[in-house]
Amino acid sequence: MNKIAWIGLGQMGVPMARNLAKHGYPVTVYNRTPKSVDMTPCQVADSLHMAVDHADVVFLMLSDGAAVEHVVFGESGAIHALSQGALIVNMSTVGVDETKQFALRAAEHQVEWMDAPVSGSVGPAEAGTLVVLAGGSESAFHRVKPLLATMAKSVHHLGPVGSGAAMKLLVNGMLAATVAAASECMALAEKSGLGRERFLDVLSETGMWSPILAGKRPLWLDDEYHPSFALKHMTKDLALLSRFAVQYSAALPGMTTALTTYLGAQAQDLGDADMAAVFQHLCALAGAEL
Ligand code: NAP
């Protein structure tokens, strides 16, 4: 690899790009909004085109499909500066249908596409212990597997383009439902006088406890929701999961309820807070005072 471009320096992009560069890969990073964060040992490009020019592989870690569309296929998008034979690895969570469309459009420019979204939040991104869920050709996977391994404890090749996106949406459906279910019961614990702390203490001794609940516990106890995973991103993922289910005429009643719950929280201005803030919305619905 002569040059690797990394586009998107949000909560996840910063630690993931750093891990790649720390393993000796020649990484050039770019973010739409200049960042004051130290990205050593990465090179920092002043423009998108400078970042992707002559890159063998371009990683994307952006908010959503609209951001990917704009960055890659927009008027001055990356596709216009990429060399033939380059590979785009989209690690952002976007839809299965969007992913397949992106791959077809990239192929028109002789650029290959791979979806490689991740499970795990900022902590695992910093520790290099994410779970990568990849979709794409065998040859593309073979080409980038060592790069993905610098960020992850496991790297799964799940099938053709779109397979990684599909698995990611299923996994996040579980995450959404788990956090919403705990929040709903905690809201009633508050209202009925048992209290959220005692509820979490008891839950932590049962089989229902999990690392995700342990991670969210301090946020719930302090009512401070600095985002590791913004609630608006979870709403987006549930909407994408619904769209995926529609393609298969598969009813997902629990996931549909979860989408309504997170949308309600977003309507209460909680979109930029951590997803655990869905608890505040459920307290309001339950009439529980915080
Ligand atoms: P984030 O902190 O909100 O960062 C989003 C990034 O996208 C920023 O670099 C932002 O640039 C860029 N961006 C958004 N719109 C853009 C546009 N139109 N043009 C160019 N750049 C644009 O998000 P994140 O938490 O890192 O998550 C990134 C992706 O990973 C999302 O798809 C999310 O669902 C997924 N994910 C997140 C987590 C997590 O725990 N956070 C875990 C797994 C997967 P600016 O700085 O200029 O706004």
Q: Which domain holds residue 66?
A: 4-160
Q: Among residues 126, 160, 194, which one ends one of the domains? A: 160
Which atom of ligand 1 is nearest to 234's Cα? 34
Each residue's pLDDT tens digit, 188-229: 999 999 999 999 999 999 999 999 999 999 999 999 999 999
Q: Specify the pLDDT at position 47.
A: 97
Q: Among residues 160, 177, 192, which one ends one of the domains? A: 160
153 and 226 share one domain:
no
Which atom of ligand 1 is nearest to 13's Cα? 26
- Nearest C-alpha to atom 12 of ligand 1 is from which residue? 62
Q: Specify the pLDDT at position 213.
A: 98
78 and 103 share one domain:
yes
**C-alpha distances in Å from residue 225, one per residue of 204, 222, 255, 274:** 21, 8, 23, 5
In the three-class reduction of DSSP (H, G, I as helix; E, B as strand; rest coil), residue 109 is classed as coil
- State the virtual CA torsion across 137, 58, 271, 220 in degrees, nearest 10: 80
Inter-helix orientation angle 163-192/253-265, to 10°: 70
136 and 231 share one domain:
no
Which residues in the chain come in under a pLDDT of 50? none
46 and 145 share one domain:
yes
95 and 192 share one domain:
no
**C-alpha distances in Å from residue 172, one per residue of 94, 116, 180, 202, 233:** 12, 14, 12, 25, 10
189 and 237 share one domain:
yes
117 and 98 in contact (C-beta within 8 Å)? no
The CB of 76 under 6 Å from ligand 1? The reply is no
Each residue's pLDDT tens digit, 249-259: 999 999 999 99
Q: Specify the pLDDT at position 1.
A: 80
182 and 192 in contact (C-beta within 8 Å)? no
Domain harbouring 117, CATH code: 3.40.50.720
180 and 81 share one domain:
no
Domains of the chain: total: 2
Cis peptide bond prior to 41, omega within 30° of 0? yes
Q: Specify the pLDDT at position 124.
A: 97
In the reported structure, the alpha carbon of residue 16 is separated from the centroid of ligand 1 by a whole-number distance in angstroms of 12
90 and 147 share one domain:
yes
106 and 178 share one domain:
no
Q: Among residues 160, 176, 205, which one ends one of the domains? A: 160
In the reported structure, the alpha carbon of residue 194 is separated from the centroid of ligand 1 by a whole-number distance in angstroms of 38
Answer yes or no: 168 catalytic. yes
- Neighbouring C-beta atoms of residue 5, cutoff 10 Å: 29
174 and 111 share one domain:
no
Q: Specify the pLDDT at position 290.
A: 84
153 and 227 share one domain:
no
Q: Which residues contact 70 (CB under 8 A, 6 or more apart)?
A: 77
188 and 131 share one domain:
no
10 - beta bridge partners?
none
Domain harbouring 171, CATH code: 1.10.1040.10
Do the bridges between strand 57-60 and strand 87-90 make them parallel or antiparallel, or are there none, so unpaired?
parallel
- Out of 3, 35, 168, 216, the active site residue is 168
